[in-house]
Amino acid sequence: MSHYFSEKPNARREQKKHEVALRGRSLTFVTDAAVFSKSGVDYGTKVLLDSFAFPATDGDILDVGCGWGPIGVTLASEDQNRMVWMVDVNERAVQLAQGNAEKNNLQNVKVLKSDLFQSLKGQTFAAILTNPPIRAGKDTIHTLFEQAYDYLVPGGELWIVIQKKQGAPSAKKKLQERFKEVETVRKDKGYYIFRAEKY
């Protein structure tokens, strides 16, 4: 059975085109089966994008577990002076995210197949955003939080969306073990947005 966090999903293709308004921008996306939120932008991603503020710190942006690319493509469209990286373990997601960047005429995007930060050795980022793959398990999520710290520049920020029922309180505690400042930016219909800053 194919999950959205499978490396090589084998589910039958069901590509669909979506016209979406995100952060005041009209964007075009194609989604597919065996990729997270194939029916369109999920509510958690919308809340994360609505809450996010670009950091004052210079540097690239990273979207971890990018799926078909709503976060990365939106931010690359908004700030074309920054390079936006998108990574996902799912090969189909990587293909879709690359195609969606091209559909929106973006030059400032790099899309890589990567299990979390595996393909990003030596890179650092001003901001890392994630709607983490909860179904991949708590260990994977905690590893993401721990490794993210090492990939942020000083003053860089990790932005996360997570539902209360999927462990938001314990996620915040885990973040506080690694980051000195962890802020709850927003709570919306059970979704929590956390911003963790590296000093």
Strands (E), the chain: 16-22, 25-31, 61-64, 84-88, 109-113, 125-130, 152-163, 181-188, 191-197
The class level of CATH for 16-197 reads: alpha beta
Q: What residue spans define the domains of the chain?
A: 16-197
pTM over 0.85: yes
Which region among 23-32, 35-44, 114-123, 163-172 has the lowest average model confidence (pLDDT)? 35-44
pLDDT (tens digit per residue) in 15-56: 889 999 999 999 999 898 778 777 679 999 999 999 999 999
